[in-house]
A and B are shown apart, each in its own frame.
Chain A
Amino acid sequence: MSQKGKRLLHTRKGWKTLKEFFRDPATLAKMKERRENEFPAGFQSPAEDNGITMDRRTFLALLSASMAVTATACRRPDYKLVPAVKSVEYRVPGVANYYTTVFQHGNVAYGVEVKTREGRPVHLNGNVDHPVSGGKSSALLQAQLLTLYDPDRMTTARLNGRSAPPKTVLKSLIDAIGVAAISGGKTYFLVEEHCSPTLESLYQLLQEEGIEVIQFPGVFADTPAAVNQQLFGVDGEFVPQLQKADTILSVDADFLGTDKLWVYHTRHFASGRSPSPEHPEMKKLLVAEAALSLTGAKADHRIKLHPAQYNNFLATVLLSVAELTGQNQWKTVAQKANPSALEAALQEQAKQVAAALTQQGQQGVVLVGAHLSQTAHALAAALNQALGAFGKGKVFDPRYVLPYSHQKQPGLQKFLQDLAAGNVQTVVFLNTNPYYYGSAQLQELLDKVEEKYSCSLYYDETARRSKGFIPAAHFLEHWNDAEAFDGTLTLQQPVIAPLNENSIDVPSLVFEVAKALGKVEDENFFAYLQGRWEAEWEVSEAEDIADYFSDHWINVLRKGAYVPWAAQTREVSVATPTPEQIGALVQSTSAAQNLVCYVTPDYTLYDGKYANNAWLLELPDPITKVVWDNVAAMSYQTAKKLHLKQEDVIELETPRGKVLAAVYLQPGMADDVIHITLGWGRTAGGIVSERKGSNAYRLVNGVVDGQTIGYYEAKLQTTKHRYPVVTTQEHFLMEGRPIVLETTLSRIQAGNEELIERVEVPGKPEDQPFAKPPSIMAEYEYEGHRWAMVIDLSKCTGCSACIIACQAENNVPTVGKDEVRRGREMHWIRLDLYYIGDPENPEVAVQPMLCQHCENAPCENVCPVAATVHSPEGLNEMVYNRCVGTRYCLNNCPYKVRRFNFYDYHTETRSPIEMVFNPNVTVRMRGVMEKCTFCVQRLNEAKWHARQQGRDRVKDGEAVTACQQACPADAIIFGDRNDPQSRVHQLWTSERGYWVLEEWNTRPQVTYLANVRNDDTVA
């Protein structure tokens, strides 16, 4: 269109009449008037009536304008977003899932309940339905979580010193076995102690093919199995049932500490250690030992003995028991062990012990350390026969034998002979580490074997010397099963996919070898495992067993414990040994008290397999309180005699080897005994564990002695060096202060006197021990919950499981040796240890100390920014966000339980350790104070669950703190004081109850129940 045309288009106008078209002025005027005065004259619009002068057009214009405005102001239309849900079934973000599995601590199965969040394990607990753990756990078990996420776990397989695919390494391993078979050389599998029947069946399949499978754990002692074999025909260790014992004599048997079953023993021992006026009975513990152990610390009567006197002591006890019970047949047995060599004072004590053991109506039992001599075990067997502690339904029940706890020495000796003869072609190490804990001789012989393959969590000492290495999967990453001593089976189910795709689990590796040898046909280990379980299910005649195997499988996984038909119907008959049979094992011993070295497993690291674990390394030894090292502990007298001081470095020598160690002066040690623990001094296998402490395995030789723990003749060389030893506690005397209160069983039985000597509190009536003293502050009113804790010192053994449970639950950092030396350890709960009485053989008092959540909290009113405040439920709350770190609260806390982040301790967290953090708990930055919260996140979760179920209160037992949950002794009771049904409410005013530093009117929310010593009839 032309420009002109466009213009025409715009100028075109419409017209109504011709007059308008011709622009007649009159018409236009008329039309204008009509336009302006729309309504005829006289018409009055209602609007005008109201004084509104708006014409219709303006109105319409405004109307349409406002419509337009309204339209634009309208919210955008809703388009519902639909997320592409790719979630796992049964998994709600933010809500924890729990799975059962099992942890094999050597040949002990600990049923485990794993808490997972968003698919990753964040906490381990004992499985309530499992007979061994019974819902409880140990420090070692809790710490497995950190090992799972350990960044030092090797991530690549290696062959001939280079990275290689694991399949290649596995093929090379299988080829090596094949070559060995053809060339007539032998193949050895060195495996760890385990309790998996399925794995054992695979080992047997390998043995059928001529492959030698021998157990080679770091810590073992064959004597119990050897004696049991000779006396009862059982090549294994019996498991004493302490719930059936009333009086226990332990001769160097640390059943509350280093025993593999200590959680089980602690549960049953502690349950009988809390007498009340209504139930005034308790188990009695008598301990004769050389080095102070946790068991000795808990003893009602502790006899300090040189180890050379053990046999004489046991013989004297046996003699007295025989006399007291008129069983003269045991006297000849006792006489063989030379009881008269014991000094008179000890003889007297031995007689008292015998009197206690044979007390009417009290089941006595004698436990001896696994590392003691054959004579000691035979005497103990005689004593238990004499005391009636052996037999079905008794303390020593022949049905209860630790699985696969047979003697290790015969296999090891054969291995050594074959090595020496050059018959060994291939060696496979499955989670075993002979280059760390084997003898020098064994290592030298192993060097000559070329085809060495290793499968372990870490690239450890042995892996570094092996031709092939495959990283092993963590126990939370793979399938397996485990058998408890009573036959209970548990499926070990993986709770996370292997973090390292190159890893292989030990059962699968063994399965692949067996498959390559044509012994199994299943697709994989899982199918093999399931097949075995299905076979068992088929033969089971139990009535309550599921009709379909798939249901059975799920039931077992749900519960985490299953007693198979064979175990339900297990009948074991063992021969009762005659005194002559036992006497044949007893040898005459002299009591020459030379300098000896006592080697035991470590309380925190046990055998060193899990040494690369900062939680365990920083866990203070429950007796010495030493962290990050092991020490050569000895008595003051011994050190004085040898001119040694604390922290002097000595060279300790036994006939098996020598090692450098730092001196630590320890009360309660027998003279001429030097105590050192295994598990330290690693040289490879993770940067955390390396070069910490001394490798005491150099002092022992399991192949020669049949045990790697026990007593060795020692020689000692001083050096000019000193080595800093760091402890979390430096002062062990109560200074006469009423901190750990004690009472006696006889006081409880008498029932007519005050059980404990309460401190005088100004303003509090003496006859009302639980009244509140006056305060100038307004009283709090707790209307809802009122959280409180009761700690029974009589039950607490000081095992330290609570410390690691708390550390795992609350993201408590580890700080390292140097920071602990400066006094900056971060544990929210600590175990204070005090010695009472004679420093040569003191009584020991242990006290868990954590935030007391004081009603009159000294920390609260000094904080300038109100970062620590009192909650309506009685908690002393720490507001991390608000804290500026003046540390005034720390100074003013009489219990010194507050912990300050002197550095950003968490910045050194290496991936994937961050996965260990509990997502419900803040990770604290530097400059912030922290302390026990009574696991406030768990309390809130419990309240949330209660609210979901329409309740406004949490029921007793629903809110459980991490320390309480772990405590094997059940010494920690937590709950709502305002709930009259709660255990805490009922125990709050117990006769044994008291508050630490009560006279300062802090009004703690933690009541301690005084420790009870069983002073009954050692007469």
Chain B
Amino acid sequence: MEVQEYAGAEAKQKRWDWGKLREPLVLGEPTLHKVTADIGQIIDRPPTVKFWIAILITGTLAAIGFACIAYTVAVGIGVWGNNNPVGWGWAITNFVWWIGIGHAGTLISAILYLFQQKWRTAINRAAEAMTIFAVMQAGLFPLIHTGRPWLAVYWLFPYPNQMQMWVNFRSPLEWDVFAVGTYFTVSLVFWYTGLIPDFATLRNFFRSKVKRSVYTFFSLGWTGSTRAWRHYEMAYLILAGLSTPLVLSVHSIVSMDFAMAILPGWHTTIFPPYFVAGAIFSGFAMVITLMVIAREVLGLHNYITLYHFDNMNKILLATGMMVGYAYSMEFFIAWYGANPYEQFVFINRATGPYWWAYWTMVFCNVVVPQIFWSKKMRRNIPVMFVASILVNVGMWFERFTIIATSLHRDFLPASWGYYAPTWVEVGIYVGTIGFFLTLFMLFAKYVPIIAISEVKAVLPGSQPKHH
């Protein structure tokens, strides 16, 4: 290798006994150069046939989704299953679901960073990318679910106009615009900031002129000087500080779409913390799903270790129990609050026409994570893969249950109804999954999926010794 090695020799010389105290974060004791090479070669090697096939599949799904969106916009919301008591259906379910998935990224990058959880380094890049892509999917839904999206696309923003017509700042949907918009912007900046040193590393690593020039462009003239690092780390810390409240605020505000409404089953004060916990739950589940695949496909066993998965499964267990607690607390309050309408809604959830959705949710979100009490299970890749998918199925049904069951039988029994989606709604949902996976695969192929500089920093011997 012609590429200069920075401190590889030193790393080889020092052997730490950390193994006895704590599991190593990176296995195989790689040199600094090997880290660069391991990650860089993913990008450097030409796309395989498998990659093309995968992109073709996900891209087709995405195209189907966009075709369904175009159909909806051209013909009207009537092509969906929404009706008079049930004004919102799959679209808003998907919106909340994707926003929830987008939660893990910021949590990992910001909160775990502030708490100096070093195990985050292997997964934070992918988690942040997932956040951005998930929020992109989520952002589609509030727009396309409106009756006149060509107007909603700008009327929802407070812009000065000759009619002095402003948005309604009392509406939780308006708060969503700001919350989701801020979250997306900050997440994007945070992600890109983290990428700059890695782009610079790759710039130096690649030999192809085209690649060099592309990554030179994206590395924004990074020199790697001490001064640059000093500023960089301060900026990163500030961004982490900025992002931290957003982790709590975004889903709290999304939950207020429901909590601020008058509808029994929506109008509960437990929603903000309950939604945040649920969002972290589903976000980590999605990280596990994606990381299990990426680890196998890209051969990142040394970087994403069972230790990482163990930690993430612990978080799944904890947040799973939080949502379980929220489910039971909703029932308790419905009984304790002595509001007959609310009592009816919750009994109807469990025993009404949507009982299957409710019990799917309970099984996936409360029962399934309980297997992670066992360390063996926390470190069993097939088990956690299935469990993480089930958790996201459960979280989807949680949102569906909240939306559909509360709406379909509300105050006046004469206006009760039932809601079932049409193929168009299913098509759009599948399309967003395809679009999300397409983006994620492109990311995994062309952007360093592991934060190279951060991983180097947690290699044995890379940090000053304090004892």
**Which residues does A use to contact B, with CB under 8 Å?**
729-737, 739, 819, 822-825, 830, 832-834, 847, 849, 858, 861-866, 882-888, 890-892, 894-896, 898-904, 926-929, 996-997, 1000, 1002
What 7 A-B pairs are tightest by C-beta distance, nearest first?
A: A885-B147, A927-B147, A823-B83, A902-B78, A832-B414, A887-B87, A896-B415
Give every chain B residue within 8 A of A926 (Cβ-Cβ).
Answer: 76-78, 147-148
Q: Are A899 and B344 in contact (CB under 8 A)?
A: no
Q: Are A865 and B167 in contact (CB under 8 A)?
A: yes
**B186 CB within 8 Å of chain A:** no
With known contacts A861-B171, A887-B88, A900–B77 Cβ distance under 8 A: yes
Q: Are A733 and B77 in contact (CB under 8 A)?
A: no
Q: Are B171 and A863 in contact (CB under 8 A)?
A: yes
Q: Are A886 and B167 in contact (CB under 8 A)?
A: no
Contact check: which of B84, B262, B407, B418 meets A858 at CB < 8 Å? B262
Give every chain A residue within 8 A of B167 (Cβ-Cβ).
Answer: 864-866
Give every chain B residue within 8 A of A736 (Cβ-Cβ).
Answer: 340
Q: Are B78 and A884 in contact (CB under 8 A)?
A: no
Residue of B nearest to A734 (CB): B413
Alpha-carbon separation in the docked complex, A732 to B85 (Å): 15
Q: Provide a sorted-by-A list of 8 A–B residue pairs whose CB atoms are within 8 angstroms.
A: A731-B409, A822-B81, A824-B83, A824-B84, A830-B414, A834-B413, A927-B147, A927-B148
Give every chain B residue within 8 A of A929 (Cβ-Cβ).
Answer: 147
Q: Are B173 and A864 in contact (CB under 8 A)?
A: yes
Q: Are B155 and A884 in contact (CB under 8 A)?
A: yes
With known contacts A825-B84, A896-B410, A864–B147 Cβ distance under 8 A: no
Contact check: which of A739, A863, A883, A887 meets B168 at CB < 8 Å? A863
Q: Are B76 and A884 in contact (CB under 8 A)?
A: no
Give every chain B residue within 8 A of A1000 (Cβ-Cβ).
Answer: 262, 411
Q: Are A861 and B414 in contact (CB under 8 A)?
A: no
Q: Are A928 and B147 in contact (CB under 8 A)?
A: yes
User: Closest CB of chain B to A536's CB: distance in Å?
Assistant: 52
User: Closest CB of chain B to A925's CB: distance in Å?
Assistant: 8
Give every chain A residue within 8 A of B147 (Cβ-Cβ).
Answer: 883-887, 900-901, 926-929
Counting chain A CB atoms within 10 Å of each CB, the highest count among B171, B257, B262 belongs to B262
**B189 CB within 8 Å of chain A:** no
Q: A737-B340, A823-B86 are in contact. List 11 more A-B contacts (CB 8 A).
A: A730-B416, A736-B340, A823-B84, A823-B417, A824-B78, A832-B412, A834-B414, A864-B173, A886-B142, A887-B77, A900-B77
Give every chain B residue within 8 A of A732 (Cβ-Cβ).
Answer: 413-414
Q: Are A862 and B261 in contact (CB under 8 A)?
A: yes
Q: Are A735 and B413 in contact (CB under 8 A)?
A: yes
With known contacts A862-B172, A866-B166, A895–B156 Cβ distance under 8 A: no
Q: Annotate B242-261 by CB proximity to A: 1 below 8 A, 0 otherwise.
A: 00000000000000010011
Give every chain B residue within 8 A of A890 (Cβ-Cβ).
Answer: 84, 87
SS of B interface (majority): loop
**B112 CB within 8 Å of chain A:** no
Alpha-carbon separation in the docked complex, A802 to B305 (Å): 71
Q: Are B75 and A903 in contact (CB under 8 A)?
A: yes
Alpha-carbon separation in the docked complex, A431 to B368 (Å): 71
Alpha-carbon separation in the docked complex, A833 to B414 (Å): 7
Alpha-carbon separation in the docked complex, A452 to B416 (Å): 52
With known contacts A824-B78, A862-B172, A866-B166, A894–B84 Cβ distance under 8 A: no
Q: Are A862 and B260 in contact (CB under 8 A)?
A: yes
User: Closest CB of chain A to B424's CB: distance in Å?
Assistant: 12
Q: Are A902 and B173 in contact (CB under 8 A)?
A: no
User: Closest CB of chain B to A663's CB: distance in Å?
Assistant: 21
**B399 CB within 8 Å of chain A:** no
Contact check: which of B82, B174, B417 meets A864 at CB < 8 Å? B174
Alpha-carbon separation in the docked complex, A858 to B170 (Å): 11
Contact check: which of B76, B86, B142 meets A904 at CB < 8 Å? B76
**B456 CB within 8 Å of chain A:** no
Alpha-carbon separation in the docked complex, A552 to B214 (Å): 96
Contact check: which of B83, B171, B407, B409 meets A822 at CB < 8 Å? B83
Q: Are A731 and B416 in contact (CB under 8 A)?
A: yes
Alpha-carbon separation in the docked complex, A891 to B83 (Å): 10
Give every chain A residue within 8 A of B418 (Cβ-Cβ).
Answer: 730, 823
Give every chain B residue within 8 A of A863 (Cβ-Cβ).
Answer: 168, 171, 173
Q: Are A927 and B76 in contact (CB under 8 A)?
A: yes
**B297 CB within 8 Å of chain A:** no
Residue of A nearest to B416 (CB): A731
Alpha-carbon separation in the docked complex, A521 to B412 (Å): 65
Give every chain A residue within 8 A of B293 (Cβ-Cβ).
Answer: none
With known contacts A864-B174, A894-B262, A895-B411, A884–B146 Cβ distance under 8 A: yes
Give every chain A residue within 8 A of B260 (Cβ-Cβ).
Answer: 862
Q: Are B84 and A899 in contact (CB under 8 A)?
A: yes
Q: Are B83 and A888 in contact (CB under 8 A)?
A: no
Alpha-carbon separation in the docked complex, A941 to B394 (Å): 56
**B165 CB within 8 Å of chain A:** yes
Q: Annotate B56-67 by CB proximity to A: 1 below 8 A, 0 otherwise.
A: 000000000000
Q: Are A928 and B83 in contact (CB under 8 A)?
A: no
Give every chain B residue within 8 A of A928 (Cβ-Cβ).
Answer: 147-148
Alpha-carbon separation in the docked complex, A882 to B416 (Å): 28
Alpha-carbon separation in the docked complex, A926 to B75 (Å): 9
**B349 CB within 8 Å of chain A:** no
Alpha-carbon separation in the docked complex, A819 to B77 (Å): 12
Give every chain B residue within 8 A of A996 (Cβ-Cβ).
Answer: 412
Q: Are A849 and B407 in contact (CB under 8 A)?
A: no
Give every chain B residue within 8 A of A886 (Cβ-Cβ).
Answer: 142, 145-147, 152, 173
User: Closest CB of chain A to B331's CB: distance in Å?
Assistant: 19
Q: Annotate B153-184 by CB proximity to A: 1 below 8 A, 0 otherwise.
A: 00110000000011110111110010000000
**B298 CB within 8 Å of chain A:** no
Q: Are B76 and A903 in contact (CB under 8 A)?
A: yes
**B49 CB within 8 Å of chain A:** no
Residue of B nearest to A902 (CB): B78
Give every chain A residue within 8 A of B413 (Cβ-Cβ).
Answer: 731-735, 737, 739, 834
Alpha-carbon separation in the docked complex, A888 to B409 (Å): 16
**B151 CB within 8 Å of chain A:** yes
Give every chain B residue within 8 A of A735 (Cβ-Cβ).
Answer: 344, 413
